Structure 1
Amino acid sequence: MILKALYDYYNRCGDLAPTGMEYKEISFLVVIDEKGNFKRLEQRGDDKNGQKFLVMKGVRSGKTPKPYLFWDNVEYVFDYCKEQADVQEEADEAAKKKLEEEIAKTHAKNVALIEKIKEVANLFPEEKELRAVCDFYDKGGLDAVREDSLWPNVEKRSTVNVSFLIEGHTKIVAENPCLRSLAESSNQGKKHKQSVCLITGEECDPVATTTPTAIAGGNPSGSRLVAFQTNKGYDSYGKSQCLNAPMSKDAEAAFTTALNRMLAKGSHNKFKLGNRTFVFWASSDDEASRKMEDGLFDLLGFTDERDDDPNAKIEEVRKVFKAISSGSLKTNLDDRFYILGLAPNVARIAVVYWSETSLNEFATNIERHFSDMEIVDNRKEPKPYMGLRNMLSAVTLSGSNVTPNLPEAVAKSIFLGIPYPYTLFSSCIRRIRAESGDIRITRAAIMKAYLNRLNDNNQKKITIMLDKQNLNPGYLCGRLFAVLEGLQFAANGQDTIRASYMNAASSTPSAVFPTILKLSNSHYSKLAKDKKGLAIFFDNQKKEIMAMIQDFPDTLELGDQGRFFLGYYHQKNEKANKETDQL
């Protein structure tokens, strides 16, 4: 199912690398003439990212140097590593010896690269540009490279990729057509018994291993999504490695290329939660599918495009999902939306999450999240609060120290339309208490969304704004507390009861409200001397709420504590309180 969906994505895109090839960022080019004489270094891309070129795919594993063809990193191409700059200044003999060992390893990599280049050049003697690279090394071209004005830039970025360019040519040597033909015919290895490809359903000569894929937190050289350990209990009927799950070379190349495309730097088809990396894609390439992919990326709040207006972006995202769920943006009934969660592992990449839904169903779930998180916002410049990053920041100290598995659980709730995790709600309550009743809009939205989806004991659902018909004791106590706080501020210019009494009032109302109600009488008398009308305004609100409270509860369970804070938030943001906007 997963591999077939990735295979279909490869075919859907149409612009992904062909079998045996891959797009790689190359930051420096060694410009030489047809006789191998060094001319200059050229930098491609910027100081962060190189220029992408279509080159022969390279696979590296184990400790033995395995160079790529006519391109590789600085260690392989230039026989240079950062230890070379440090070894001269190292006084400690043990540390110096260790640095020298690293230098020797780098030299072995360069030797392996040169041998591989000469081997391939001999296969295609008519290709002059391949021979020119061999001549470059034979003539000691590396000494000339180190004299180039761009060499200091290379030393600062010793992990980037390098290739070769013949002066006057437009394509780099690694893009030579003969290398592509070599890629198409290489890695055939040992012929295996014909099998049915589990991805395409066609007869094939199956591959024994799959291409490694690098994910955040995993092996830098990559791990395999599909892998079998020989003689470890995974083999069956005498088969070994991937022959247990046969797939053709083209199918294997397609799904690994598709996965690498979505995991690539700058991709808008991925997001990261903790040590999990999620990729997502639609089965179709129509307008609705593309907008859904872009919208989900923006919703999760992990974009680095700082110049964009976040308010406009979130609003545009909501419009997209609403249009799809309502049917105004047409979708095909067969169109699917996929989300794949991956985690690094020692042996291979672990699949930790997989979701497949129709486009319409997925859009409906996202639209429901927007609706559930909607709450009154009277700020002059409203800001988006539906994004996952904003939600997690609201329930943690300074946006850090997120409870393990919480991001993944919240994302799952959004994607599947199921109740939000209890940990999200309880963390929100704890942060409000820890910050002396700071009920910012995101926290209020989280509490409303959690309680409404849970709707335990058939409690009345929380509305977007003040609900005077809500008779829940916690909600009423929160409203009353907001009125008493407003009365104190109007009378004294301060609201000390929030810091002194709010936490206790939200959990044990009967122990606190008699005290603050008594204080409110003094506040009323003081305010009435100067602002009689305002004093009556607060007193009428107090009487209105008190008439609906039969007895103050001894305790409020956690759900009603959330309703307390929501009642407080709603009362503070009620439009009828315009005269007390300074609160």
Structure 2
Amino acid sequence: MILQALANYYDRLVKAPDQDVPEPGFSVQKIHAEIVLDKDGNLVAMNDIQQEETIPPKTKKGKPKTKIVPRKVKVPFVEGRTSGVAAFFLWDNTGYVLGAQDKGKPERIVKQFEAFRNLAHEVLDDVEDEGARAVITFLDSREAGQTDAIEDFEEKFIGNNCVFRLDGEPDCFIHDHPAVRTAWLKHIDKSIERPTGVCLISGQADEPQARIHPVLKGVRGAQTSGAYIVSFNASAFMSYGKEYNDNAPVSERAAFAYTTALNHLLNAKKTEHQRMLLGDATVVFWSETPTRMESVLQMFIDPGAAAEDEGQEAHDGSVIGQLRTLLQAVRDGKEPPVTDLLGDEPDTPFYVLGLAPNASRLAVRFWLVSTVADIAERLAQHFDDLEMETQFDFESEFPGIWRLVLELAPARPNAEGRYTSKMDDVPPVYAGALARSVFTGEAYPESIVNRILGRFRSDGRVTHGRMALLAAHHRRALRKGRTLNIDSITKPSEVTVSLNPETKNVGYRLGRLFAVLEKAQQEALGNVNATIKDRFFGSAMATPATVFPRLLDLGQKHIAKAEYGHVMDRHIGEIMEGFEVADGTPPFPAHLSSDDQVMFALGYYHQRNALWRKKDKSPDAPQKTTGTEEAA
């Protein structure tokens, strides 16, 4: 299914006039110069067709143009050149085209020129085309290394790739002439000596099968020379006497199609909005027909970055508004208005592919077949589940996936005292699992909850991103009918965005109590080297009975010492009213389940925000409403 979808995408790209995607038998290469011939095969000029690229401070360096040219003849659907002499058809470096090179043995250069001329004869001898005849005449009339008539050849052209053009045809190279292209494709068909069979991608019979598929480049962490998504290179992978990729029969043309399409998607310069990195996975996405969702999905996934990036165009800021519209549709139980927002057909098939490096092969981290409307709905639902009040003004209300994954990494202080995290410190499986949950709408993985709880115990950082992930996990689990090991919480709306003083959940109330005790310590002692959070947060969250009696006793001393200790004392009384007290002893549980530990962290986060938040006392101050409360 993956290869078939990519092959269909290739067919779409070939038909698009604005895409430089080659047809079978051709490839995209960097070209530096053109050799202009008249109809009689005489040299008119050799022109530099590179683009000028200014490099500071005042020097200039040429940038070759990318052109679609014929592929190598011996292996027509595979890139690369062997160590021997093997010419390309109607394009190559000057060592082959003119027999002039600034390095190498003279005898070898002569052989290169002869190989180039012989290939041209082999393909073009029976072709009735002015350009073909001009090239043959030009090559037959010259000796290897004959470049005296070319001005500044050694300074400007030697060693560079060049093509042929007929004088009077400024916009068409000779290898693009219809008759020449037809002759080249016929030559390829004759040169392929491979068994035929039924192609697993196209279903066509009697097609030459690819023994080796073209390499794929652009997956982060994979070999720079390229890697394979289909590869059989050891006897353990083979069966029924078949060798190499005959074990998964794919025709030469289909293999070329799917690899060309995937290389196009992996090329960051060509498809910057259809490619992104999540952990060790390189993710690409596309639709069956052209849609705007292809170009905006990356910004939808990380809209905060789109809004903050000064290099983005002004219209990118509208992504935030569009996402809010999608969110509201989800909350109202309506179909996402992708036609009104993006102009896309809702039922257009949409594909998401995540690839990870695995030596010379690529591992499929995840594969999703969906529609534009489903992708929009799941993305909106993801951000609705994530909704959480922020601590600081600079924090995004829509944290991107990679930002969330980064929250799973250890946080370490840098030289400036700021905490930083590295993506390399996050096991790769987390990014793929989180992305799969976003794109499929499945429950968030339990491993993420355990990872965050472990981070609390190690670095003690209770951040907006971590809280949003924990809340999203509980909301989605409850919505899908999963029974959580949690006290008094039964509906997604009970996992609130901001402080909920009415909840009876023990973990949540204990988290609130811990935040109040921390505030009391700060007001009594000011900034200290180690607060109760630094020393007791992990144990208070997991085993409250062993910690809270001591913390309450310590808190009363802090309250007595603080100037406004009565305020914290009142908060403690309000929180303690929610507990059922027997014999005057607060019922601190011996242990909290991991689900209740999440509620502890949320209670701490909400209460701490409420205590530290600067209150706007003006009567016109807007009051924030939560998405979950609206949904309820």
TM-score normalized by the length of structure 1: 0.76
Q: Secondary structure at the match of 1:457?
A: coil
Is the 1:484–1:520 Cα contact (8 Å) retained in structure 2?
A: yes
User: Structure 1 pair 370/235, CA: closer, same or farther in 2 (3 Å)?
Assistant: same
> Which residue identity lines up with residue 55 of structure 1 in the other structure?
V
Aligned pairs (5 A) from 1:161-172? 162-164=161-163, 169-171=170-172
CA distance in 2, matches of 1:254, 1:555: 58
Q: Go from structure 1 to structure 2 and tell me whether the alpha carbon gap of 1:491 and 1:255 turns closer, same or farther (over 3 Å shift).
A: same
- Is it true that 1:538 corresponds to 2:571 in the alignment? no
Higher RCO (Cα < 8 Å, 6 or more apart)? 1
Measured in 1, the distance between the counterparts of 2:500 and 2:368 equals 37
Cα deviation for residue 108 of structure 1 reads 10
The answer (yes or no) to whether the contact 1:29–1:163 under 8 Å persists in 2 is yes
User: Secondary structure at 1:578's aligned position in 2?
Assistant: coil
**2:319 counterpart of 1:284:** no
The total of aligned residue pairs comes to 542
Residues 31 and 408 of structure 1: CA distance in aligned 2, closer, same or farther (over 3 Å): same
User: 1:545: Cα distance to partner?
Assistant: 0.6
The letter for the 2-side match of 1:540 is R
CA distance in 2, matches of 1:429, 1:297: 25
- Greater share of helix residues, 1 or 2? 1
Distance 2:10 2:177 in 1: 24
Q: Residue in 1 aligned with 2:500?
A: 467
Number of the residue aligned with 1:517: 552
From 609, 624, 631, give the equivalent of 1:573. 609
Residue 534 of structure 2 is matched in structure 1 by 499
- Gap change, CA 1:502 and 1:575, over 3 Å in 2: closer
Contact 1:74–1:162 under 8 Å retained in 2: yes
SS in 2 for 1:443: helix
Other structure's SS at 2:433 match: helix
2:216 to 204, 214, 219: 214
Partner residue in 1 for 2:447:
423
Quote the residue 1:480 is aligned against. 513
Q: Deviations over 1:125-177 (max 9, x none)?
A: 744357668959522689965534x99xx9xxxxxx84346698445666565
Q: Identify if the C-alpha distance between structure 1 residues 23 and 574 changes in structure 2 by more than 3 Å, giving closer, same or farther.
A: farther
Aligned counterparts of 2:550 and 2:540: Cα–Cα separation in 1: 10
Q: Distance in 1 between matches of 2:113 and 2:92?
A: 11
* Contact preservation (8 Å) 2:192, 2:208: no
Aligned counterparts of 2:143 and 2:468: Cα–Cα separation in 1: 65
1:445 CA drift (Å): 0.9
What are the residue-to-residue correspondences of 1:86-101 with 2, within 5 Å?
none
Structure-2 residue corresponding to 1:439: 462
Contact 1:299 1:388 in 2 (8 A): no
Deviation for aligned residue 1:577? 5.1
Q: Does the 8 A contact of 1:22 with 1:56 survive in 2?
A: yes
Is the contact made by 1:474 and 1:561 (CA closer than 8 Å) also made in structure 2?
Answer: yes
Unaligned runs of 5+ in 1: 85-102, 155-160
- Taking the aligned partners of 1:304 and 1:178, their CA distance within structure 2 comes to 53
**Equivalent of 1:457 in 485, 488, 491:** 485
In the aligned structure 2, how far is the partner of 1:403 from the partner of 1:41? 49
The amino acid across from 2:70 in the alignment is: M
Contact 2:512-2:607 at 8 Å conserved across structures: yes
Q: Is the 8 A contact 1:269 1:279 kept in 2?
A: yes
- TM normalised by structure 2 equals 0.71
Task: Give the counterpart letter for 2:258 in structure 1.
Answer: F
The match for 1:365 is: 378
Q: Check the 8 A contact 1:333/1:358 in 2, yes or no.
A: yes
- SS of corresponding position for 1:187: helix
Cα 1:494–1:344 shift into 2, 3 Å: closer
Shift in Å, 1:343: 4.2
Task: Determine the structure 1 residue equivalent to 2:621.
Answer: none
Q: How big is the shift at 1:273? A: 4.1
Alignment partners' CA distance in 1, 2:381 and 2:106: 59
1-side partners of 2:243 and 2:265: how far apart?
Answer: 29
CA contact (8 A) 2:338 2:345 kept: no
Pairwise CA distance, 1:73: 7.9
Q: Which amino acid aligns with 2:505?
A: N
Match of 2:388 in 1: 375
Amino acid at match of 2:574: E
| Percent identity of paired positions between Structure 1 and Structure 2 | 27
Kindly indicate whether residue 276 of structure 2 is the aligned counterpart of residue 271 of structure 1: yes
Shift of 1:571: 0.8
Do 1:376 and 1:464's aligned partners in 2 also have CA atoms closer than 8 Å?
Answer: yes
Give the conservation status (yes or no) of the 8 Å contact 1:20–1:180.
Answer: no
CA displacement 1:476-511 (0-9 Å, x = unmatched) = 121112122223333443363333333333333333
Q: How does 1:121-520 map to 2 (within 5 A)?
A: 121-122=120-121, 123-124=123-124, 126-128=132-134, 138-139=145-146, 145-148=153-156, 162-164=161-163, 169-171=170-172, 175=176, 180-188=181-189, 189-190=191-192, 195-209=197-211, 211-215=213-217, 216=219, 217-227=221-231, 234=238, 236=240, 250-266=253-269, 267=271, 268-287=273-292, 289-290=293-294, 293-295=297-299, 298=302, 307-308=311-312, 312=317, 315=320, 318-319=323-324, 322=327, 326-330=335-339, 334-344=347-357, 349-377=362-390, 379-384=392-397, 386-397=399-410, 398-400=421-423, 401-435=425-459, 437-455=460-478, 456-457=484-485, 459=487, 460=489, 461=492, 462-494=495-527, 496-520=531-555
Deviations 1:430-483 (A, max 9, x none): 333333x32121111122123333452365252111122332322212111212
Q: Using the alignment, how far apart are the partners of 1:552 and 1:422 within structure 2? A: 26
Map of 2:2 onto structure 1: 2
Unaligned runs of 5+ in 2: 56-61, 73-77, 126-131, 411-420, 479-483, 580-585, 618-632
Q: Give 1:579 deviation, angstroms.
A: 5.1
Return the offset for 1:190: 5.0
The correspondence for 1:562, drawn from 598, 613, 632, is 598
